Amino acid sequence: MTEFYPFITLGVALLALLYVAVTTRRVLRHSEGSERMSSLSRSIRAGASAFLKRQYTVVAVFFGGLFCVLGVLALTRLLNPFMPFAFLTGGVYSGLAGFIGMKIATSSNARTAHACQGSLNRGLRVAFSAGSVMGFTVVGLGLLDLSVWLILLKFVFHESVENIAATVITFGMGASSMALFARVGGGIFTKAADVGADLVGKVEAGIPEDDPRNPAVIADNVGDNVGDVAGMGADLYESYFGSLVSAVALGVAAFKGSADALKTRAAIVPLLLAGLGVLCSILGTFLVRTKENTNQKSLLSALRRGTNAAALGVAVLAFPLVRFVLGAGYTGVYGAVLAGLVAGVLIGLATEFFTSDSYKPTRTLASESETGSATVIIGGLGLGMLSTCVPIVIIVICILVAFFAAGGASSAAMGLYGIALAAVGMLSTLGITLATDAYGPIADNAGGIAEMAGLDHSVRERTDALDSLGNTTAATGKGFAIGSAALTALALIASYKDQIEQLAQKTGSSFTFDMGLMNPSVLAGLLLGACLPFVFAALTMQSVGRAAQSIVREVRRQFKEIAGIMEGKADPDYKTCVDLCTRASLREMVLPTVIAIAAPVAVGLLLGPNGVIGLLAGATATGFLMAVFMSNAGGAWDNAKKHIEGGAFGGKGSDCHKAAVVGDTVGDPFKDTSGPAINILIKLLSIVSIVFGSLVLSCHLL
Amino acid sequence: MTEFYPFITLGVALLALLYVAVTTRRVLRHSEGSERMSSLSRSIRAGASAFLKRQYTVVAVFFGGLFCVLGVLALTRLLNPFMPFAFLTGGVYSGLAGFIGMKIATSSNARTAHACQGSLNRGLRVAFSAGSVMGFTVVGLGLLDLSVWLILLKFVFHESVENIAATVITFGMGASSMALFARVGGGIFTKAADVGADLVGKVEAGIPEDDPRNPAVIADNVGDNVGDVAGMGADLYESYFGSLVSAVALGVAAFKGSADALKTRAAIVPLLLAGLGVLCSILGTFLVRTKENTNQKSLLSALRRGTNAAALGVAVLAFPLVRFVLGAGYTGVYGAVLAGLVAGVLIGLATEFFTSDSYKPTRTLASESETGSATVIIGGLGLGMLSTCVPIVIIVICILVAFFAAGGASSAAMGLYGIALAAVGMLSTLGITLATDAYGPIADNAGGIAEMAGLDHSVRERTDALDSLGNTTAATGKGFAIGSAALTALALIASYKDQIEQLAQKTGSSFTFDMGLMNPSVLAGLLLGACLPFVFAALTMQSVGRAAQSIVREVRRQFKEIAGIMEGKADPDYKTCVDLCTRASLREMVLPTVIAIAAPVAVGLLLGPNGVIGLLAGATATGFLMAVFMSNAGGAWDNAKKHIEGGAFGGKGSDCHKAAVVGDTVGDPFKDTSGPAINILIKLLSIVSIVFGSLVLSCHLL
């Protein structure tokens, strides 16, 4: 029976991709509306495709270089021969997830706008279907890649479970590197365009958002697709994948000394859980239906019904699954899965509490605009920092419950396997939660097209309603992304320790871990690691600032040099702005990624594996905090501004509104560039450490 | 010989206090100038005294409560009977240091303004003398308190060195709690008044800074004295004291198993080093002299001459001192002292690089004002976050050098003693560095008095020159404060481990440490600890925001209700603003302090000593980063604004200036409230953990 499990998960992966194909066809059957709408959509699609093409070219060069490095390590037997190839496939799949997401999003923006001309409900259906294409592409590809490699390594190459576990982590490295490029590059593009367009368009020229007279408007809409869609796709592919591979590796480690069959079963449990999640998610999507002539509230409950049903399905069915596969002695593992699932939901609720204008924190923030932009900034920073305490308590409880439920009291390795499974549990329903998350940017784009094509005001109102709904569901999605990142990073640290110990044993090295906090190497590593998210956030924020300034200069130039723009008589030169954003973001995305890969290797060579453990723990702790802080501050500023635009404190155009716009502009790189990129950073650091573990073990200074 | 060492340090302490008395007399001999100046100074002094009186009353209640708690623990033999009293004296001395500093500062502000009517050089002499009163009060009281307790415990009560070491840490707790109250309370007062006065006065009413028509102007000047002076005094007393007591405790631990005489010598070395530093600092102050008719640059080099000479003196003389006291076998300990001294200087230089407008980062920040306040904020946050990487690398190198130089490779306890001595080395010349730091707020106040008394424009120019010089030297001072906080916190964590192990042995408890990062209690503690500085920063910032808003409302009310204010015909009601600030800051200072004390006890009871170690390490890592980030971002915003006021990017009143003012306002609570308070927080957490260690050891959940 155990033999067939990878084929089951392969089957589920193919089912998810079939769902994708069917849904895509259904979406494409809708009309794009008028020729103007269709042409706008084409421009956006062309800009996004051109960006991704150039971005992937840069990334390919980088991957080529790293492939050679890994190849040399493999030739010197510091890595097994599959690893360089596994690295490449991880990258390709992650990039593919982003690309498909972008394609469907840019093909459905005009269609969503057109559907909104009919009714809100029709708009939701198109946007949500497009979002679910994205969601199931991510989970389908993830499960496919992993299942195929397992089958290949096991049945074709007859590798040991230990070797399989080590290999799968290398494709985690491919996926994470690609994701970091996509998030950072796309994040810089989208926010540079957004901030640049706002600063000159809204603030200086006084024209509304998405006004076709703004030369940066197409760049802004392209940005939504390459950052919020393609970037998010690659990002969540990486999260999903990372949680699975770390659980596979820790499953093998937890049953060290047991029979191979038991190890294999432990390794396959995460994939089976993921498969279960995919099935529940597909069923959940069928529950997202509303009557015609519905209102925003019932739309939200329709979305919630789908995600909740999927989560409930996993919660109920995971128990028999775990019991059947692992046997009656290990049902405690189910507790870990459940802890992760519940923690994800709770973090999502906390995110919503801190960032939605239905609750006090964001309302108070909006009121702080009465004394100007400085108090809005202070308030938002304070809110973001304070908001870290709830998710951290949830994660701490989740860690302890997962560890001890899985049997950590008698075997630490089982406990760590439990932590990894908590991450898997949290992300098991990613297919549907990502669908509710990804449809937001599509609705946003649809709104842009409605505005630029001069559609009836009611259409924009409907897309805005969808967009604002998207903000709420995105809060939940972010909770899952951040929570799972922390758990996965911890699981990867545990895998690191395990891999190094195995290597030391295999190579006869005398190295043993002393991870105690009073070991100066650990302390030094901890401090350096804690610093990395700060540096990373700084670099990405400064990149956005620089790129935005170049857009500001270009837009100002066009307003000055192209006569008749403001009267709508001459077309602005959209392409130059798209080009500027593309070049700036490609230039700026390299350094942060290189740091993320070089830091753990450099620290390892200097301080040894103990220093690396410190580095990873420090980076995970501050990374989690910075990600929550920046996401929530950004979200709260955004919604405080929207709250004022809804009529509070003088409404649009008032002094309060201007102050809130400053907050929102600061929040843009916070929530859409730096914050999400840090989630990837903390995992990439661990994975790189694992891959280069044998190099570090064979030569280090301290 | 060993017997007499505490008497030597007692003698040095008395010498420092003699220097204080003589210098105070000399300062008070100067004239306060006109009656108007003298009366303004009186108002500020009265406000500051009233605040401290009310603040100390609140603190006294708190101390009374904690004294009772400690008393109960002492009665149940969980603490030794001296500890509750040691706690009290630590608090009293710390408060006294702040009080004396405030008294001399408020007595010399008008005198400095008057001296500036003569010449820049005369102004410097008065301000610097007043600052050195503060500096030597802090070090004199610190050394006095510690020497007296040592003599008492050793010669009167004949306690063992181990007991003495445990007891001195308890007065560390008194000093730290008092310092936290002073920093947080004073910090909220000063920034609420500052932000409030600026927001209505400068931005809304368009009147210049320190204009007597602004009802919050006296509160603003009182704030400088209670926050930047009294708060800083208590704060640095705590730093100085904390570094000494942790080194005493670790000295005893390092020579566990050796003869008592050697332990005693190891315990006294930090005090002797501090005494050496005091002597070198006193000599250094005599080098701070310039010719008449001097310029700002030669003033700076005069100040630098003093501090550098003192540091050089310590660097040279510490070697024979260590060799003589500890013997030829332990000269490596000198390397640790030197590492600390050098690291302090380097961190100071890094701080200056990132925050002075002589260098690129702050100039770039100023240029970002061209695209509005949002880009200034993004730029400043990025700069602050990025600037963490240099000090962290310096501290990491310092830790490694100190650890291994002191012999950590063969005995970890010696290495940890080395880390503690690095902190002592860094702070050894505090007497003179604090003098160059504390004179800044005095010059600032003098400028306020010059403005309010309507003195000649040239006087304000001179006080501004002194003030801006103070900003540069304050950067160095901040480097020392932050660097020593990190080292001391680490040393205290090591003391914690040591104390718990001793207790476990004494009480026959079966507890042994497992500080490994894969222990879930350690991980959970690490995450919770890492979160504390974020929560702490958030609470203090939000307090400033709330208090400032109440000031804004009051000032607006006065402008509306008191006829003739703006024409200078009617006096504003200064007192109400002072009162508002007082009440707000006293109300707001309690919660953060309670959290700082309750958190380690609560985590200890839940997660046990392993969790506490994790908590402390996490808090130290992120605390250091947050303190650097917030201080440097705030400093850079301040100086970017000053750079623009100096004529760049359109100068005062331009759009760029307005954008920069927003940055400066955000930076105010960053650099003067939250940032410095975090430095105290990380040490207080460790000390509280030590004091309540026996309670935690005897009952904890995990």
Query: Cβ distance A243 to A425 under 8 Å?
Result: no
Instruction: Of A404, A617, A400, A516, give the one whose Cα is nearest residue B501.
Output: A516
What pLDDT score was predicted for residue B293?
Answer: 65
Q: Is A4 exposed, middle or buried (0-12, 13-18, 19+ CB in 10 A)?
A: exposed
Q: Which of B 70-109 lie inside 8 A of A, CB atoms?
A: none
> What is the spatial distance between Cα B329 and Cα B327, in angstroms, rounded to a whole number?
6
pLDDT surpasses 90 at A329: no
Minimal Cα–Cα distance from A514 to chain B, Å? 7
Minimal Cα–Cα distance from B111 to chain A, Å? 35
Span A36-65, average pLDDT: 90
> What is the spatial distance between Cα B317 and Cα B309, in angstroms, rounded to a whole number?
12
pLDDT surpasses 90 at A382: yes
Q: Largest Cα–Cα distance in chain A?
A: 78
Q: Tell me the CA distances in angstroms from B214 to B257, B582, B667, one per residue in order.
A: 66, 18, 22
pLDDT digits (tens, 9 = 90+) for A433-443: 888 888 888 98
What pLDDT score was predicted for residue A292?
Answer: 66
| B332 close contact with A: CB closer than 8 A | no
Chain B residues whose beta carbon lies within 8 Å of the beta carbon of residue A371: 199, 548-549, 552
DSSP secondary structure code for residue B471 in this structure: H
Name the residue type at position A419: I
Query: Cβ distance B396 to B457 under 8 Å?
Result: no
**Beta-carbon separation of A617 and B415 below 8 A:** no
**Beta-carbon separation of B527 and A392 below 8 A:** yes
What pLDDT score was predicted for residue A103?
Answer: 92
Tokens matching residue B287 = 């080098």
Chain A residues whose beta carbon lies within 8 Å of the beta carbon of residue B382: 537-539, 541-542, 545
Chain B residues whose beta carbon lies within 8 Å of the beta carbon of residue A379: 542, 545
Query: Cβ distance B186 to B585 under 8 Å?
Result: yes
Chain A residues whose beta carbon lies within 8 Å of the beta carbon of residue B403: 520
Instruction: Of A456, A573, A564, give the one whose Cα is nearest residue A217.
Output: A573
Query: Cβ distance B485 to B240 under 8 Å?
Result: no
In 3-state terms chain A splits into helix, strand, coil percentages (rounded to 5) of 85, 0, 15
| B377 close contact with A: CB closer than 8 A | yes
Q: Can you give the pTM of this predicted structure?
A: 0.94
Chain B residues whose beta carbon lies within 8 Å of the beta carbon of residue A548: 371, 375
Instruction: Of A669, A664, A659, give the one whose Cα is nearest residue A355.
Output: A664
> What is the spatial distance between Cα B575 and Cα A153, in angstroms, rounded to a whole number?
80
**Beta-carbon separation of A523 and B399 below 8 A:** yes
Q: Which of B 300-329 lie inside 8 A of A, CB atoms?
A: none
The radius of gyration of chain B's CA atoms, rounded to the nearest angstrom, is 24
**Beta-carbon separation of B528 and A665 below 8 A:** no
pLDDT surpasses 90 at A400: yes
Residue in B closest to A381 by C-alpha: B538
**Beta-carbon separation of B385 and A538 below 8 A:** yes
**Beta-carbon separation of A378 and B618 below 8 A:** no
> What is the spatial distance between Cα A679 and Cα A232, in angstroms, rounded to a whole number?
11
The closest CB to that of A520, out of B382, B408, B613, belongs to B408
> What is the spatial distance between Cα A173 and Cα A689, in angstroms, rounded to a whole number?
10
Which has the minimum average pLDDT: A110-114, A290-294, B100-104? Answer: A290-294
C-alpha B330: how far from its chain's center?
A: 32
Q: How many residues does chain A have?
A: 702
Minimal Cα–Cα distance from A198 to chain B, Å? 11
Interface ipTM > 0.90: yes
pLDDT digits (tens, 9 = 90+) for B46-92: 888 888 898 899 899 999 999 999 999 899 888 888 889 889 988 99
Q: How many domains does chain B have?
A: 1
Inter-axis angle of helices B161-197 and B232-254, nearest 10: 160
Q: Which of B195, B246, B369, B378 to mutate to test the interface with A (most CBs of A within 10 A)?
A: B378
Q: Within chain B, which residues score under 50 in pLDDT?
A: none
- Judged by DSSP in three states, B32 sits in coil
| B364 close contact with A: CB closer than 8 A | no
Helix locations, A388-429, DSSP H: 389-405, 412-427
Q: Is B433 exposed, middle or buried (0-12, 13-18, 19+ CB in 10 A)?
A: buried
Residue-wise DSSP of A192-231: HHHHHHIIIIIIII-PPTT-TT-TTHHHHHHHIIIIIIII
Taking the alpha carbons at both ends of chain B, their separation in whole angstroms is 48
| B68 close contact with A: CB closer than 8 A | no
> What is the spatial distance between Cα B499 and Cα B556, in angstroms, rounded to a whole number?
55
Helix locations, B387-456, DSSP H: 389-405, 412-427, 430-452
pLDDT digits (tens, 9 = 90+) for A114-146: 999 988 888 888 999 999 999 999 999 999 999
Query: Cβ distance B244 to B9 under 8 Å?
Result: no
DSSP secondary structure code for residue B207 in this structure: P
What pLDDT score was predicted for residue A397?
Answer: 97
Tokens matching residue A397 = 């409880």
Instruction: Of A461, A420, A449, give the one whose Cα is nearest residue A111.
Output: A449
What pLDDT score was predicted for residue B438?
Answer: 85
Q: How many CB atoms lie within 10 A of CB A400?
A: 21
**Beta-carbon separation of A515 and B517 below 8 A:** yes
The radius of gyration of chain A's CA atoms, rounded to the nearest angstrom, is 24
pLDDT surpasses 70 at A1: no
Chain A residues whose beta carbon lies within 8 Å of the beta carbon of residue B515: 515-518
Which one is predicted more confidently, B51 or A568?
B51
Question: Which strand (E) or helix (H) includes residue A450?
Answer: helix A430-452
Minimal Cα–Cα distance from A294 to chain B, Å? 39
The whole domain housing B158 covers: 2-700
**Beta-carbon separation of A530 and B614 below 8 A:** no
Tokens matching residue A666 = 């600061």
What pLDDT score was predicted for residue B64?
Answer: 93
Q: Which of B 619-678 lie inside 8 A of A, CB atoms?
A: 621-622, 624-625, 629, 661-662, 665-666, 669
**Beta-carbon separation of B374 and A549 below 8 A:** no
Tokens matching residue A137 = 């592409």
pLDDT-derived band at A155, boundaries 50, 70, 90:
confident
pLDDT-derived band at A28, boundaries 50, 70, 90:
very high
Query: Cβ distance A529 to A686 under 8 Å?
Result: no
Minimal Cα–Cα distance from B90 to chain A, Å? 28
> What is the spatial distance between Cα A661 and Cα A667, in angstroms, rounded to a whole number?
10
**Beta-carbon separation of A396 and B528 below 8 A:** yes
Angle at B164 between CA B158 and CA B166, to 5 degrees: 145
The closest CB to that of A378, out of B519, B530, B545, belongs to B545
Chain A residues whose beta carbon lies within 8 Å of the beta carbon of residue B368: 545, 549
Tokens matching residue A302 = 């329709």
- Judged by DSSP in three states, A90 sits in helix
Instruction: Of A576, A68, A649, A27, give the one whose Cα is nearest residue A366.
Output: A649
Alpha-carbon dihedral sign for residues B496, B499, B503, B505: positive
**Beta-carbon separation of B373 and A199 below 8 A:** no
Query: Cβ distance A255 to A406 under 8 Å?
Result: no
Q: Which of B 389-418 lie inside 8 A of A, CB atoms?
A: 389, 392-393, 395-396, 399-400, 403-404, 408, 412, 415-416
pLDDT surpasses 80 at A214: yes
Span A452-477, average pLDDT: 83
**Beta-carbon separation of B516 and A520 below 8 A:** no
